[in-house]
Every structure is written in C-alpha cells, then in structure tokens.
Structure 1
Amino acid sequence: MKQPPLRPPPYVFGPAWTALYGLMGYAAHRAVMRASSPLFSSPLGISADSLRTLYSAQLGLNLAWMPLFFGLRRPALAFANIVSLVGINGYLTYLYFNVDEVAGWCMVPYLAWLGFATYLNAGVGHLNRWDISESTLATRKALGKDQ
C-alpha cells in the first residue's frame, strides 16, 4: 500500500492515542461536571446531556474508523467518517470552550491529530486510487507497482 509523506512509524500511534483519550476523557469530565452545576449559566444553552450525547457520538465515529479503513479496506468511507469526526469534534471543542476553557484546550491536540489523520487517510486513498483491497494490492505487487 502506498503511503503519503510524513507518515509516522507505527509505534507512535499507541502512545499518541493513549494521551489523546486521556485528554478527551478529562475534557468531557470537566465540561459535563461544569454544565451540570446549578450555578452554571450557559450563554449558548448548553446542557450536560447535549455534551454527553455529542461526546458519545464522536466516540462512535472514532470507533467506526478503524474497521472501515483496515477491516473493510474502504478508504473513501473511512475518509467520510473522519471528516464527520473532525466536524463533530470541532463543534464539541467550541462548546467545551464555552463551558470550561481548560476542557476546550484539552481537545485541541485531538483536533490536531484528527487533522493529521485526515491527511493520512486522504493520502493513502489518493495514492492507491481509493482501492486498498487485498486483491488490488496483491495485483499491484505482482506487477511490481507497489512502490
């Protein structure tokens, strides 16, 4: 499979996602706890329930990306998924900043990583003509076109 430039080595992904999930969880906790406080008055009408729903939706999209890309080998579907994931997290970050500034800043590295992951997904898709199926990759390798 052809890879885009700047692709990090595989050992980077585990620690990066561990840190990102920690920050995401902490941000969600801070924002939901603040929005749940009877002393909190939201200028945007943000409720703790809406924050929990959006956070859960982004986790679902996050969870779906890997089976779409690696399991089904459908980079176009994975790309649509990750673009949606960036959008919902951009909105969630905006809401978090309006509820708790620390929670908003905790989401910034996740948004940056998602932007980079979107580039990697699009790069793999484009360089491989949006087809990374086993049969196509095997055919390319047999023909010597895997470089």
Structure 2
Amino acid sequence: MTTYIPYLTIPHEVFSNAAASVLLPIALGTGVGFSTRPSQTQNTYRLMKQPPLRPPPQVFGPVWTLLYGLMGYAAHRAVTAGLNPLTSTVGGVQTAKHAATLYTIQLGLNLAWMPLFFGLRKPVAALADIAGLVGINGYLTYLFFQLDEVAGWLYVPYMAWLGFATYLNAGVGVMNNWRITDDDLLKRKNV
C-alpha cells in the first residue's frame, strides 16, 4: 500500500466538498488543454498517422470533461466515506488517506500526458506516463470500491477510457515510428 503524503496530497477540504472535488480536475484539465493550444493540437492530431477506431478530435474535450467530473466525484465519495468515523470500516481511514495521495499522483500524471504527447511530441514518454496511469488507477479503483461501491463504479469509465487512450497512444507511436516532428507533419500536410 502507498504512503499517505500530506504535503503531496490534495487537501481534505477539497475532497470533502463535492463541487470543489468535481471542479478541480475539470479546471486543471481545461487549463492544460488550453495551454497546449487546442487548434494546434487538433491539427497535429489530424496530421499524425492514426490507428483504426480513432475518434474525431472534437470528441476528446467533452469526454475528458465528463471523465474529470466523474473522477472528482468518485474521489469525493471515496475519501469522505473512508474518513467518516460513523460509516468507515476498520482500516477505512488509512485506506482513504492512501487513496487521496494516489488520486493526487494520478491526477498529476494525467495532466502531464497532453504536454508530453502534443507539446513535446514524445509518444514514448507519453506511453510510459499512461502506463503508470493505468496501473495506479487500477489500484485506485480497487481502493475506491473498498471505500464506497458507487465511487468504484464511477471510476470504471475512466479506466475504460485509459485503456482506449493507451491503445491510441501506442498505435500513433508505432504508425509514426515513435516520432512526431514538424517536418513529418508538414510532409503529410502537403501531400
């Protein structure tokens, strides 16, 4: 089990407030999305060689907004349930604290993916990031189910999308020889 790291963990006041818990990942995700210049990101996405089943670029914003909201609400439910002395199970407080730290770490990794993939154009680093996300969130889903069954189910769509995103990341990497350069994209644009 991970260690609870207070200075690294989102404050309990955020988790205890449903609106704050939902809005925090949405606001951070939106900020990262806009910092990578959406029109440039969509253009890069269109010019890369893509694996089958890739969605249009306009799908990602609404899907991630929904997933960030579900993620935040799941974290709110799990952490508050685990820290509630009236409803928490034996070991629930410690599990909730571990889950809060893991949630914070996974949120940081999640927010790093877009700058790695589209900003730095490093599909290998982005794939390593998303592989870490899948592992951490698989364990976090397990912890959320222990703390609050609804929270666990709220996390399932995020896990499914992470699996699909991993496929897309690996597919783009393979199809583009693990390189996404301006020169390669320019050649595709002029073809």
TM-score normalized by the length of structure 1: 0.90
**Does structure 1 residue 20 correspond to structure 2 residue 67?**
yes
Equivalent residue for 2:79, pick from 12, 32, 51: 32
Aligned to 1:11: 58
Compute the displacement of 1:47 (Å): 3.1
For structure 2, the residue ranges without an aligned partner over 5 or more in a row are: 1-47
SS at 1:57 equivalent: helix
| Length, aligned pairs only | 143
Aligned to 2:163: 115
SS at 2:183 equivalent: helix
Where relative contact order (Cα < 8 A, 6+ residues apart) is larger, the structure is: 1
Partner letter of residue 101 of structure 1? E
Tell me if structure 1 keeps the 8 A contact 2:102–2:136.
Answer: yes
Tell me if structure 2 keeps the 8 A contact 1:96–1:104.
Answer: yes
For structure 1, the residue ranges without an aligned partner over 5 or more in a row are: none
Greater mean deviation of Cα atoms: 74-83 or 45-54 = 45-54
CA distance in 2 between partners of 1:127 and 1:53 (Å): 36
CA distance in 1 between partners of 2:120 and 2:57 (Å): 20
SS at 1:11 equivalent: helix
Q: 1:49-77, CA deviations, whole angstroms, 9 ceiling, x for partnerless residues?
A: 21111110000000100010001000000
Tell me if structure 1 keeps the 8 A contact 2:142–2:152.
Answer: yes
Tell me if structure 1 keeps the 8 A contact 2:83–2:92.
Answer: no
Residues 4 and 53 (structure 1 numbering): CA distance in 2 closer, same or farther, change over 3 Å? same
Runs (4 or more) in structure 1 with deviation over 6 Å come to: none
Tell me if structure 2 keeps the 8 A contact 1:79–1:118.
Answer: yes
CA distance in 2 between partners of 1:3 and 1:107 (Å): 27
CA distance in 1 between partners of 2:189 and 2:67 (Å): 39
Using the aligned pairs only, state the percent identity: 66
